Amino acid sequence: MWLVHTVDIDAPVEKVFAFLMDPEKTFALAPDDRAELVDVRRTDSGVGTSYRMRMKVAGWTVPGPSMEFTEVIPNRLIVDHSSMGLHGSWRYEFEPEGNGTRLTMRGQPRGLWRMPGVASVVDRVMGPRHEHMLGAMKQTLEQADKPASRAK
């Protein structure tokens, strides 16, 4: 079962793609500080770019998943694969829409987490987080394209 979230961003595909190719930029949009990004390693092609997370749980910092870009098609697709079944894989699909971009995020949990009932619960819990991040990305990228206002 795929968990799907879509957003239209008034920014060119190249700009949206470049933003998502940088795990630090996208991770900075998280709605809370329960996790932190560590050990970011980038590759020239994007495939093999990896990073790890540490999570804060009940006051303790514990290792989180390792993530790796397993497929990259410039300005069209990024597949981000997690070491944890709950996180599974995320496909980021980029489509030009006029002068902007339609970004579709498809999550594929693995193991127990992919069962239809469980996956829908995960999406109800994590969906608002994903929607927040997509909204924050939209706002960030659209504001970056606006010309600076001039004082009169």
DSSP conformation letters of the chain: --EEEEEEESS-HHHHHHHHT-HHHHHTT-SSSSEEEEEEE--SSSTT-EEEEEEEETTEEEEEEEEEEEEEETTTEEEEEESSTTT-EEEEEEEEETTEEEEEEEEE--GGGGSHHHHHHHHHHHHHHHHHHHHHHHHHHHHHHSPPPPP-
Assess if residue 82 is contained within a domain.
yes
List pLDDT tens digits, range 60-95.
888 878 899 999 999 999 999 987 756 678 899 999
Residue numbers of the domain that contains 116 = 3-30+71-143
Report yes or no on 109 lying in a domain: yes
| Per-residue pLDDT, 30 | 76
Residue 60 belongs to some domain of the structure: no
Q: Is residue 112 part of a domain?
A: yes
Does residue 12 lie in a domain region? yes
Is there a domain that residue 26 lies in? yes
Predicted pLDDT of residue 152: 47
Q: Domain of 15: which CATH number?
A: 3.30.530.20
**Positions of the chain with pLDDT under 50:** 151-152
In a domain, 19, yes or no: yes
Q: How many domains does the chain have?
A: 1
